[in-house]
Structure 1
Amino acid sequence: MPKPYTNLRYKLFSLQSISSLDMLSRLSSSSNHRLLKTLIGDINNNNGSCSWYSSKRQGKETLSLYSKISPLGDPATSLTSELDGWLRQGNKLRVAELHRIIRDFRRRKRFSHALQVSEWMSKKDICAFSPVEHAVQLDLIGRVRGFLSAETYFNNLMDQDKTEKTYGALLNCYVRQRQTEKSLSHLQKMTEMGLVSSALTYNDIMCLYTNIGQYEKVPDVLTEMKRNKVSPDNFSYRICINSYGVRSDIEGMEHILKEMESQSQIVMDWNTYAVVANFYMKGGLTDKAIHALKKSEKRLDNCDGIGYNHLISLFARLDSKDEVLRLWDLKKSACKRCVNRDYITMLESLVRLGDLMAAEKELKEWEASGNCYDIRVPNTVINGYCVKGLFEKAEAMLNDLMERGRTPPPNIWGKVAEGYLNKGEMGKARECMKAALSLHVRNKGWKPNPEVISGILSWLGDTGSIDDVEAFVSSLRMIMPMNRQMYHALLKANIKIGKEVEGLLSGMKADKITEDEETKEILGLRENGTK
């Protein structure tokens, strides 16, 4: 069951933009256990309609369905044809495997693919859906198509399937899309029907108020929960603690924390104390923050990599290098193996602390770890070089990566180019920007900094050869239309060698770029015969 606070960066503790509880949290562990136990029983007894589904049973399975469709990560890829093809080839389908695929896709936020599998199961009548399966599909519909489509699905359910699970799933859809009136109206209906028996529903409403910035209403929900004899869980208290913290009400936060610690049904967790520490840090209460972090550390499981990452990041914010190194050593000892995310967290912390030598050492350790390659790991160190103004080292590392067949993203080359530009090293700025442009993939998000491009174009127009200007402009045109700065650089380069520029002026006119004062000054160079 995913936890709402198991993100990897300390800054997410503030929960400024909490998404509502994932629907998986509504499918309680006991419900999931019963579902899987039923499926296993069906398979063992071979007497249920929900055990195997196959067009024919022959041949030996050499590839699981999961391993076949899991790599198809493009959201535009249709899985329906893959699923149909799997059956046509005579392969067996375990319903339990289909449920595992859906859970895995949800965990990896591949909601469209999860919905395709769920709807395919329903269409093929592979398994009669229980309220739990309906709740999952309803939640997926809400994520992929919006709450209106989720409403339609809910309204078309049979009465016996409209349980706390499916009502809760629809509430979750409303909350996630910040539909305040619908959320509260739906909650009222659930209350009247006696379908509010757990903390999950109240937690949803607290998430709603958090997401719309009405933090002051969160404690009222906690009070109502207790009034209705529903016991708050850890998340209930944690989101309430957050509501006081974001309002800088340290006293109120401490009051709720003390109440939480006094509840017999609550097992205090590292996450809560980390949230508290974060707000102490924001309030400048360093001693209290350290005390809370120590409490958090005591509640870490022996191999909780995510927990260690959070604490390492928080101690780095406190400029506590000794604690960062101590926790990193503990983590490596407890967890035996560090994944890429762990190295990124540690490298970010060392960069924040300004210890680039230690970061370089950890980078070498990562390279020798055997972990799969992840460009974000070296990028963390490269960003550290840029922050310190060490652009030559950043460029050298990027060139080394390229020589080893690795492809850094264009934005990091663009950052180095900007650094060189600000230092007045225009030739190096141009070369780094050329590298960035060569790596650009259309519609992939990165766009070059207009000020950097303008600066390089202006410099090229003044000092570069016509070949240099044309080559750079040609690279730019692969990712952006012609603009005034590009035309000006070309005009200056052509005028310097006495070439006619009528064609360029016609191009400007065709691109609806009017001549401004700078254009006239450039053309004046031609009229004065100045090179």
Structure 2
Amino acid sequence: MHCQISNPIGLQLPPYFFSFCNITHLQPINTRTSIVSSASISQVHNYGTVDFERKPPVQWNHLYKRISLSGLGSGEVLEEWMMQGRKISKWELRRISKELRKFRRFYLALQVYEWMISKGEKFTLSSSDIAIQLDLVAKVHGMSSAEDIFVKLSDFQKNERTYGAILHVYSQSKEREKAETIFEKMKKESLITNALPFNEMMNLYMSLGEYNKVDSIVQEMKDNATPFDIYSYHIWICTCGAMMDVEKMERVLEEMTQDKNVNPNWTTHSTLATLYIKLGLLEKAEHHLKEVEQKLTGRDRHPYNFLISLYGKIGDKEGIYRIWNLYKSSFQSIPNSSYYALICSLVKVGDVEGAEEFYKEWEAIKVKYDPRITNFLMASYVRGGLLKKAEELFERASRNGGTANPSTWEILAEGYTRDREIGKALHCLNEAASVKRFRRWAPKPVNVEAVMKVCEETGDVENVEQFVELMRSLKCLNAGTYKSLVKTYAKAGKSVNDVILSMEKDEIAIDEEMEMLLNELRERV
């Protein structure tokens, strides 16, 4: 849902921090207004892309739910809807696509646009629609597919919106040269009317760690008298934080507060708090957390979640409970994501009993099972040497209808490996690999190393061979795995000739270290 940036100091940033670069979430705004005049995060320039014009509410949500839940493609559901004699407007289709994008159902959202295109002149796509389509194609099929669509656009269709969309695609893909070419083209054609293209380039340079170029973009904006929006300041501040330049970061904040056209919002202060925490300046972080608290409303859940997480990071248990109580008094229902944030933070501050109580509360009220919550508590037990409690929690979740995901099984495998029960660990890893919805899953390298190390130390040839076979099936075999296999064979006094043949079959090169190891073993024999 948000653009990804490189994170030199491990920043945890608010999810809407970079929402300017996801055109799928942008709201309509008067493009004649060149700067953000509200603290609302959604009011951002968007190259003029408009998801839907303002009209009286309509009953679009029934069709949206049918698409979302049917398990069929959007096109099939829409065809069925039309076959039943029901009408649907372009406004409703845009609204459905917007909602699908909101929940990261990008493939279904793209299918809505593809269905519209298949109907010819009945649903003529505007440049706003094409811009959104480009973004969706890049998310679903990759950058090159979006490029193919862009190059086929007519000159009339290549405007501020579609150029902005392909610039966003390049920025997200970290294609610096291509992004720079489009950016220069937009300047040459006078297609830059607001801060957003500059923001895209700043974000790109920051993601590449080219912080001096962020400063160059800032200066260019000032030279051109391009008004900054709130995201321009946010990226600039975050760049200063990544450079660990606190003094400059605070000068940018001061400049932001002096800008009468920009209102610092909760995201501004939570970003600053995050940066100060990473820099070890906890008093400054607390100041900005208090600023976030002053901006809490009963309309937006996100700041509550971030406050809970950030108070957990600075070890403030009282702050966690204070925000949670405010949260519960402001909303009738609490989603899984908020319980996850709460339980994670309580574990981090050492309040495991509190986390367990809230886990029970969540169990009683949850609408849908969220394995992340169980997994985090299980992991805290495993890493605290409480494998039995992790097993009990796993069994309890299973009895209550919870479905384990690969991470669930891997956490248990980690616990068994710590207890040197490799047979049980392998069973769990095989279970993880068998979960069909996660076909690209692979065990964490640290867990692979741990299993192999125990096998090496004990000369457990049977289990190490099973583990190597699992890694082969996951296409995760490498030279390191084979080195551990050779050492295990050596411990058990078994010939390594079969290992050499397997390496050749798996196309694993025998490097100098492996060659020395094999020669040493041959000499022993």
* TM-score, scaled to structure 2: 0.77
Range 221-230 or range 370-379, more displaced: 221-230
Distance across 2 between alignment mates of 1:188 and 1:505: 60
Task: Indicate how the Cα distance of structure 1 residues 282 and 439 shifts in structure 2: closer, same or farther if over 3 A, else same.
Answer: closer
- 1:349 aligned residue (345, 351, 358): 345
The aligned residue for residue 24 of structure 2 is 24
Is the 8 Å Cα contact of residues 20 and 207 (structure 1) preserved in structure 2? no
Contact 2:163 2:186 in 1 (8 A): yes
Q: Which residue, out of 118, 127, 137, partners 1:131?
A: 127
CA positional deviation for 1:133: 1.3
Alignment of 1:421-500 (within 5 A): 421-422=417-418, 425-427=419-421, 430-431=423-424, 433-441=426-434, 443-447=439-443, 449-454=447-452, 480=472
| Cα deviations by residue, 1:253-283 (Å, 9 ceiling, x for unpaired) | 1001011111211122011111112222222
Partner of 1:386: 382
Q: 1:189 aligns with which of 166, 185, 189?
A: 185
Task: Rate the CA distance shift 1:354–1:166 in 2: closer, same or farther, 3 A.
Answer: same
Work out the CA distance in 2 between the residues paired with 1:386 and 1:336.
34
- C-alpha distance 190-267 of structure 1, shift in aligned 2 (>3 A): same
Moved more, 153-162 or 390-399: 153-162
Alignment of 1:228 with 2:224, yes or no, is: yes
**Counterparts in 2 of 1:420 and 1:520: CA distance versus 1, 3 Å:** farther
Q: Is the 8 A contact 1:178 1:212 kept in 2?
A: yes
1:476/1:19 Cα in 2 relative to 1: closer, same or farther (>3 Å)? farther
Of 302, 309, 314, 2:305 maps to 309
Alignment of 1:50-129 (within 5 A): 64-71=62-69, 78-125=73-120, 126-129=122-125
Q: What amino acid does structure 2 have at the position aligned with 1:293?
A: L
- Between structure 1 and structure 2, the one with the greater Rg is 1
Distance 1:521 1:279 in 2: 56
Change (3 A) 1:190 1:382: same
What residue number does 2:510 align with?
none
Query: Structure 1 residue 338: deviation in Å?
Result: 1.2
Please state how far the C-alpha of 1:358 moved relative to its aligned partner: 0.8
- Structure 2 partner of 1:263: 259
Structure 1 residue 289, shift from structure 2 partner: 1.4
Q: Deviation of residue 172 (structure 1)?
A: 1.5
Q: Tell me: CA distance 1:333–1:65, structure 2 relative to 1, closer, same or farther (3 Å).
A: closer
Indicate the percent of aligned positions where both proteins have the same amino acid: 31
Contact 2:304–2:323 (CA under 8 A) maintained in structure 1: yes
Aligned with residue 372 of structure 1, among 346, 368, 374 = 368
Q: Give the AA of the match of 2:427.
A: K
Cα-to-partner distance string for 1:281-338 (whole Å, 9 max, x where unaligned): 2222221111121112212223432111111111111111111111111111122321
The answer on whether the counterparts of 2:20 and 2:26 sit within 8 Å (CA) in structure 1 is no
Task: Kindly indicate whether the alpha-carbon contact (under 8 Å) linking 2:100 and 2:108 is maintained by their aligned counterparts in 1.
Answer: yes
Closer/same/farther in 2, CA of residues 240 and 510 from structure 1, 3 Å limit: closer
Q: 1:417 Cα shift?
A: 3.8
Deviation at 1:375, TM superposition (A): 1.5
Relative to structure 1, the CA distance from residue 197 to residue 368 in structure 2 (aligned partners, 3 Å threshold; closer, same or farther) is same
Greater mean deviation of Cα atoms: 410-419 or 206-215: 410-419
Matched residue, 2:41: none
Gaps of 5+ in 1: 44-60, 496-500, 525-531
Q: Contact between 1:26 and 1:165, CA under 8 Å: does it hold in 2?
A: no
Report the AA paired with residue 252 of structure 2.
I
Pair 1:166-2:159 in alignment: no
2:13 matched to which residue of 1? 13
Are the aligned partners of 2:20 and 2:231 in contact in 1 as well (CA < 8 Å)?
no
Deviation at 1:406, TM superposition (A): 2.7
Offset of 1:349 from its aligned partner?
Answer: 0.5
Q: What is the DSSP-based 3-state SS (H/G/I as helix, E as strand, rest coil) of the residue aligned with 2:21?
A: coil
Contact 1:115 1:137 in 2 (8 A): yes
For residues 34 and 72 of structure 1, the distance between their equivalents in structure 2, rounded to whole angstroms, comes to 24
- Taking the aligned partners of 1:187 and 1:62, their CA distance within structure 2 comes to 37
CA deviation map 1:414-461 (0-9, x unaligned)? 334433443xx445x533543443453163403384445446767997
- Which 10-residue stretch deviates more, 25-34 or 393-402? 25-34
> 1:46 — aligned with what?
none
Give the CA deviation at 1:152.
Answer: 4.1
**Alpha-carbon distance, 1:25 to partner:** 5.8
- For 1:414 and 1:185, the matched residues in 2 are separated by 45
Unaligned runs of 5+ in 2: 5-9, 31-47, 506-516
Q: CA deviation at 1:196?
A: 1.2
Alignment partner of 1:36 is 2:53: yes
The alpha-carbon distance between structure 1 residues 3 and 294, as it changes in their structure 2 partners (threshold 3 A), is farther
Q: Does the 8 Å CA contact 1:457/1:489 hold for their aligned counterparts?
A: yes
Please state whether the residue corresponding to 2:356 is helix, strand or coil.
helix
Change over 3 Å in CA distance of 1:433–1:387 after alignment to 2: same
What TM-score comes out, normalization by structure 1 length? 0.76
* Structure 1 residues 487 and 87, CA gap change in structure 2 (3 angstroms): farther
User: Which of 141, 144, 153 matches 2:140?
Assistant: 144
Q: Does the C-alpha gap of structure 1 residues 81 and 490 become closer, same or farther in structure 2, counting only changes over 3 Å?
A: farther
1-side partners of 2:285 and 2:420: how far apart? 46
Cα distance, 1:27–1:186 mapped onto 2, change above 3 Å:
farther
**Aligned residue type for 2:258:** S
Change in CA separation of 1:173 and 1:451 when aligned onto 2, cut-off 3 Å: closer
Q: Could you report, residue by residue, the CA deviation over 1:228-273 in whole angstroms, capped at 9, with x for unpaired residues?
A: 2322111111111011110011111100101111121112201111
- Does the 8 A contact of 1:19 with 1:176 survive in 2? no
Alignment of 1:197-346 (within 5 A): 197-346=193-342
Provide the secondary structure at the position in 2 that maps to 1:13.
Answer: coil
Any conservation in 1 of the 2:127–2:162 contact (CA below 8 Å)? yes
Alpha-carbon distance between aligned partners in 1 of 2:61 and 2:194, rounded to the nearest angstrom: 41
**Gap change, CA 1:123 and 1:342, over 3 Å in 2:** same
In 2: Cα distance, 1:280 partner to 1:104 partner? 35
CA distance in 2, matches of 1:254, 1:491: 59
SS of the residue 1:264 aligns to: coil
